[in-house]
């Protein structure tokens, strides 16, 4: 049975601090939220287990997946819940696992964002006597967890595993994963219908979530592709333009045949990629 305790497990170069680290789930006044737990605080330690283990005795992690491998994209107001999982092995089997995402460079001195799992215990499914895949969910709330737009970008993935005989593997720097502001893109091609060879004006707007103010704001100065496809074809790029003030987009092309026009934005480290829904133009 697991015994909750505030002790640190240390193995080789891996040192696990038992000191709680302040989270950046801040209010508008800058108050700090719940602390990010250490491995020992998450898992506890058995009464007869030393705080030191040899590397050979630790669980082995073979795979970690965050949001099915896709970027975590969060809008201006709606919470985003996603699944995280870890596949690990140990001679005694796997009892539990832990994953969180945190933003910063050091969990003791520089952490300004923290996304903890929703569950106290992971759901672990054994594929053999020694190997299990354990799943948890995490929910990111814009305006609270994501209280500042500066948090958009690369986050650290912390991973922990507890074996059935209470051996702990833990690292705060297993991988990086992007948490991004949701981008939106509109398009309107006119006139409709249009004579063959006449000018089609394609306008639109590129915006992205403002987590701090619960709204969408224009994203200017970005390269956006104007793309076209026939009724049965695939999209090809006609030209690339730059978004203007407030994310405004506008350009012209010559009408050649019936088809769909759309804008496509490749995204940024901080902002999701997005394609507008194609606007059909009937060419007479």
The 10s digit of each residue's pLDDT in 11-21 is 322 333 322 33
Contact (CB, 8 A) for 183 and 269? no
Per residue in 91-130, is it b (16+ CB within 10 Å) or e — as a string?
A: eebbbbbbbbbbbbeebeeebbbbbbbeeebbebeeeeeb
The 10s digit of each residue's pLDDT in 180-234 is 999 999 999 999 999 999 999 999 999 999 999 999 999 999 999 999 999 999 9
Strand-pairing partners, residue 271, are 181
CA-to-CA dists, residue 254 to 113, 122, 230, 235, 261, angstroms: 49, 57, 14, 16, 12
* Cα–Cα distance measured from residue 115 to residue 124, given in angstroms and rounded to the nearest whole number: 21
Res 49: pLDDT: 39
The 10s digit of each residue's pLDDT in 128-174 is 999 999 999 999 999 999 999 999 999 999 999 999 999 999 999 99
Position 46 pLDDT exceeds 50: no
Lowest mean pLDDT among 19-28, 35-44, 46-55, 202-211: 19-28
Comparing 34 with 25, the larger pLDDT belongs to 34
* Cα–Cα distance measured from residue 194 to residue 282, given in angstroms and rounded to the nearest whole number: 6
Average pLDDT for residues 76-102, to the nearest whole number? Answer: 98
**Phi, psi (degrees; rounded to nearest 5) at 40:** -65, -35
């Amino acid at each position: 049975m697991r015994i909750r305790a505030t002790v640190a497990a240390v193995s080789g170069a891996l040192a696990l601090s038992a000191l709680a680290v302040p989270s950046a789930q801040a209010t508008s006044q800058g108050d700090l939220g719940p602390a990010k737990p250490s491995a020992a605080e998450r898992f506890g330690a058995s009464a007869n287990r030393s705080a030191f283990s040899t590397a050979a005795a630790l669980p082995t992690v073979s795979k970690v997946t965050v949001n099915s491998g896709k970027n975590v994209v969060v809008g201006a107001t709606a919470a985003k819940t996603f699944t995280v999982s870890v596949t690990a092995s140990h001679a005694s089997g796997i009892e539990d696992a832990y994953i969180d995402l945190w933003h910063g460079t050091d969990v003791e001195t520089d952490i300004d964002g923290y996304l903890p799992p929703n569950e106290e215990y992971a759901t672990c499914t054994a594929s053999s006597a020694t190997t299990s895949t354990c799943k948890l969910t995490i929910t990111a709330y814009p305006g609270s967890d994501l209280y500042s737009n500066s948090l958009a970008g690369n986050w650290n993935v912390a991973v922990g595993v507890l074996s059935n005989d209470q051996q702990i593997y833990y690292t705060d720097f297993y991988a990086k994963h992007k948490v991004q502001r949701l981008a939106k893109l509109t398009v309107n091609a006119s006139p409709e219908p249009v004579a063959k060879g006449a000018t089609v004006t394609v306008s639109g707007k590129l915006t992205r979530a403002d987590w701090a103010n619960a709204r969408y704001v224009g994203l200017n100065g970005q390269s956006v592709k104007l793309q076209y496809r026939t009724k049965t074809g695939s999209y090809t790029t006609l030209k690339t333009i730059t978004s203007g003030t407030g994310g405004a987009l506008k350009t012209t092309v010559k009408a050649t045949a019936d088809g769909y026009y759309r804008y496509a934005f490749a995204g940024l480290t901080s902002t999701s990629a997005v394609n507008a829904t194609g606007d059909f133009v009937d060419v007479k």
